[in-house]
A and B are shown apart, each in its own frame.
Chain A
Amino acid sequence: MIKYIIKRLLMLIPVLIGVSIIVFFLLRVCAPDPAPVVLGQHATEASMQEWREANGLNENIVVQYVNFIKGAVTGDFGESYYTNNSVLNEIGSRFPATIEIAIFAIIVATVFGILIGVVAAVKKNSIIDNASMVLSLVGVSIPIFWLGILFIILFVKILGWLPASGRIDSMLRPEGGTGFYLIDTLVQGDFEAFKNALWHLILPGVTLALYTLAIISRMTRSSMLDALNQDYIRTARSKGIGEGKVVLKHGLRNALMPIVTVIGLQFGSLLGGAVLTETVFAWPGIGSYTVECITKSDFPVIQAVVLIIATIFVLMNLIVDIIYAFLDPRIKYGKRES
């Protein structure tokens, strides 16, 4: 198993090098010159030339790439064209916001997705089942940003229950700590701030969750229907085991494999969805920051974001494969399949 994990980790290296080449090529070769965007339309040719020189954009493209990779390996992604802060700091300060919303969304999507899927499968063709099918269809068809807009109109404008933007009221912002406001406020014992942060999290979190929730409930339903049709379920029932135990222990346990795959794969689309959700709710995470940097041609940041997100994504896939082995003892990695 450990051998397999190491092998898979080594296989990630060429993938990430490839990703870095793709991104670097797109932004440094295909993209228009960032100098006029960064310095403004009225910048003189001389000042732009000086700026390019200072940012190493005049070097040979291969040299630029090698420098970029050398830095990236040590966690040095250069500086933002605008703030002169290191890219890693810029991203690091926004990272907890995105992880917080992503984890919130994946929890909501998993809990409710599996719950709805199981109930729909057990009560097949009932009202609940039909409602769940409609929900999953709408969930995959509605644009995530428009869903956010509808939520704001309903819960902020009409009902006035929840805040429309930001992570927390500025007065209550916790100092220092991990950057995860829900954790920081709890640790500091500031329950009012905790409640405030949670209130801010609900709308963007649920918006981000809905697509994944739809996919998970759909997958759970069909996977559960498969499992519940198996002979061992009939056997379990005929032995007089309670229906609840049959469904959960014999049904869900065996239906779990495809569900875990979907959850793992969804994590990537969740990070992508964060780009849109954060923009709608002015959530100060990496997603909205990336969009801002793209409109400002702040290329060092974009390169770093894409590379970091790709790394997280491929690691997630690896983790899913490892979880497999625990859920299904028949799977043994490291041996060649025939």
Chain B
Amino acid sequence: MASKKVLAADGADVQEAVHIEKPESRFKAMWDTLKKNKAALFGLFVIIILVIIAIIGPYITPYDPNSQVMKEAYQSPSASHWFGTDNLGRDIFSRIIVGTRVSLFVGIAAVAMSLLIGTILGSIAGYFGGKIDAVIMRIMDMMLSIPSILLAITLMAALGKGIDKAIIAIGVVSIPEYARIIRSSILSTKENDYVAAAKVIGNSDRRIIFHHIIPNVVSSIVVRATLGISTAILDTAALGFLGLGVQPPTAEWGDMLGRVRSMILVYPYMLIFPGLAITLAVLAFNLFGDGLRDALDPKSRS
């Protein structure tokens, strides 16, 4: 089944392949399944809203998220300050809106980075095997033997604070996971007849990897990456909470929680809404990712 699809989609490589009717596009089949999954649609809906807020956020905040108005500090939620104000008199609602961009950007950029490096390392390891495989995978094992949050905070200690550093720290931590998935997918795909055929007619290794193998493992990568964004958002918030994330005064959800932590028993409202924002974003990517997985791989549906 899979080999037929490739023949049809990539007929140029296999000269004069038997004419096969083009199967329904994978994307359409996936969307049809996804449409029926209410939870996944809800996730997608929230993600779209978050993306819109991330783009237009800074222009629609009711207050300047960084302006400190000391006489307005410590205000509980009210009509003028929906989520209240923090200890420096900044409007929490405005800061959460602006923080959306940071969380989504770090989350997506970190996943993109680990996906790219993980795919390259995993492809090389899986395709060539032997010594290169052993070396790459042993290094991945070393990274996996450190709990991810511990590795991330160690990286932040080495790199210093900042959004770019957070992306690197969170991205590096999940490289081994992607490398492993890609490697094992490649190992199982490599044995297929169409790969042997592509080799026989003299395609280069690189062409085989990128044109014949990667397209066939792409669905598992997409699912993993969607779920990976939720983990990356959680990690970003965790770094922020520990005071190792962004530089002040940047508004970041985890950082907002960490800074007012000691006031929890006096001003609990300050610690509610940023956490709600993190949970909602993570939940949305988890729901959508689970839905994608079910849609792309009918076998995993229970």
Contacts and interface: CB of A to CB of B under 8 A. Distances in A.
Interface of A: 14-16, 18-19, 22-23, 26-27, 30-32, 137-138, 140-146, 149-150, 152-153, 156-157, 164, 222, 225, 268-269, 271-273, 275-276, 279-280, 290-291, 294-295, 297, 302, 305-306, 309-310, 313-314
B153 A290 contact: yes
A283 B286 CA distance: 30
A14 B138 contact: yes
Interface string B209-251: 0000000000000000000001000100110011110000000
Contact of B234 (A16, A143, A152): A143
A141 B286 contact: yes
Contacts of B143: 22
A129 B234 CA distance: 26
B142 A18 contact: yes
B256 to A, nearest CB: 11
Q: How large is the interface on B (under 10, 10 to 19, 20 to 34, 35 or more residues)?
A: 35 or more
Contact of B279 (A141, A156, A290): A141
The secondary-structure label for the interface of chain B is: helix
Contacts, number: 136
B58 interface: no
B264 A149 contact: yes
B267 to A, nearest CB: 10
Contacts of A23: 146, 154
Given A146-B275, A272-B147, A275-B150, A30 B159 contact: yes
Given A275-B150, A302-B157, 7 more contacts: A18-B142, A137-B286, A143-B254, A153-B268, A156-B265, A268-B145, A294-B154
A16 B257 CA distance: 35
B278 interface: yes
A302 B241 contact: no
Contacts of A314: 145
Contacts of A290: 150, 153
Given A32-B160, A146-B257, A18 B139 contact: yes
B36 interface: no
Q: List the 7 shortest-distance A-B pairs measured between CB atoms, nearest first.
A: A272-B147, A146-B275, A18-B142, A30-B158, A272-B149, A26-B158, A141-B283
11 contacts: A30-B159, A142-B282, A143-B241, A149-B264, A153-B268, A157-B265, A222-B302, A268-B145, A276-B241, A279-B242, A291-B242
Contacts of A222: 302
Interface in B126-170: 138-139, 141-143, 145-151, 153-160
B150 A272 contact: yes
B100 to A, nearest CB: 15
A306 B275 contact: no
Residue in A31, A137, A143 with the greatest tally of chain B CB atoms within 10 Å: A143
Interface string B270-289: 01100100110011001100
Contacts of B241: 143, 145, 276, 279
A313 B139 contact: no
A31 B302 contact: no
Nearest to A268: B147
B150 A306 contact: yes
B261 interface: yes
A143 B154 contact: no
A225 B302 contact: yes
Contacts of A295: 243-244
